[in-house]
Amino acid sequence: PIRKPLVLSTWRHGLAANEEAWKQLKNGESTLDAIVAGVGVSEADPNVASVGYGGFPDREGEVTLDACIMDSNSNCGSVSFLQNIKHPIAVAKKVMEKTPHVMLSGEGALQFALSEGFIKENLLTNRAENAWKKWLENSKYKPVINIENHDTISMLALDEAGDLYGGCTTSGAAWKLHGRVGDSPIIGAGLFLDNDVGAAAATGLGEAVIRTAGSAMVVELMRQGKTPMEACKEIVERIYNKHKNHKDMEYLQVGFIAINKVGDYAGYSVRPGFNYAICDDEKGNRMESALSKMT
């Protein structure tokens, strides 16, 4: 039997995101709206330091946001380098639905959001500002594994109709250069799905995911018959091999989640410490730990 509906989200804050998405699905909302509302919980949570409100800023002290969304017809929308808007995932959905484009960036993305009725807000919390000031004392860009390059919320859903949807949203790597865009708003890198095959999403050091077209590759391996676990593992191993002599290796962490059309799912990461939240009818909403390449 096909395990559906099924909602999978990265990291522990994925639990609250799944819970909201699940509620929306059971209320008969569209799967796309369920994803927007689900990851929107993390975006609005000041304690989640790498998504939306409360996200750690770049080295200039600016919170800049990346997000994207994709539906079962391969429609997609994305925003990158967006500032002062609490729910970039909702803006990404509008880009998909209301413009002839896939991606809007920076000031243009902000103007579009404002024209759609979004409100400009300060997203830098005292906690994030204090963390930034502390970072300024040494000002080294060396992300702390599983902390400063994690917390992106990526959510994948297989709905009652058997269709796949996905979204992800992040404030990106803490202390990045102003203007830096990660993998999360890039369709094929931070998120990809093909409704004939499966869906995949990434978290971790975006540079490494972009270099390897991570999520698109995971989906392509599933097309070739690999299970979500086999596909995630192979791409994580590829990323590890490509980076083992790379300057980024010192702080490299990447994790993928993936689901296929029958509701098999998996998570796999370069280093230990990655986990994800999974919600289905059989066992409810719970955390599972990903296997990893390194120990």
**Ligand-binding site membership of 212 (annotated):** no
Binding of ligand SD4 by 204 (CB under 6 A): yes
Instruction: Tell how strand 291-292 and strand 265-269 pair up.
Output: parallel
Out of 14, 167, 206, 228, which residue is the one contacting ligand SD4 (CB under 6 A)? 206
Active site residue 152: yes
The sign of the CA dihedral 239, 241, 246, 252 is positive
**Ligand-binding site membership of 291 (annotated):** no
**Ligand-binding site membership of 206 (annotated):** yes
Catalytic residue among 152, 169, 170, 212: 152
Cα–Cα distance, 46 to 31 (Å, whole number): 25
Binding of ligand SD4 by 243 (CB under 6 A): no
Binding of ligand SD4 by 146 (CB under 6 A): no
Out of 170, 215, 269, 275, which residue is the one contacting ligand SD4 (CB under 6 A)? 170
Binding of ligand SD4 by 183 (CB under 6 A): yes
Cα–Cα distance, 168 to 152 (Å, whole number): 7
53/280 with CB nearer ligand SD4: 53
Of 162, 219, 187, 201, whose CA–CA distance to 75 is shortest? 187
20/151 with CB nearer ligand SD4: 151
Contacts of 247 (CB under 8 A, 6+ apart): none
In this structure, are residues 197 and 219 in contact, taking their beta carbons and an 8 Å threshold? yes
Cα separations in angstroms, 253 against 10, 66, 154, 274: 13, 19, 15, 9
Site for ligand SD4 in 18-47 (CB under 6 A): none
Residues with catalytic function: 152
Binding site for ligand SD4 (CB under 6 A): 50, 149-152, 170, 172-173, 182-184, 203-206
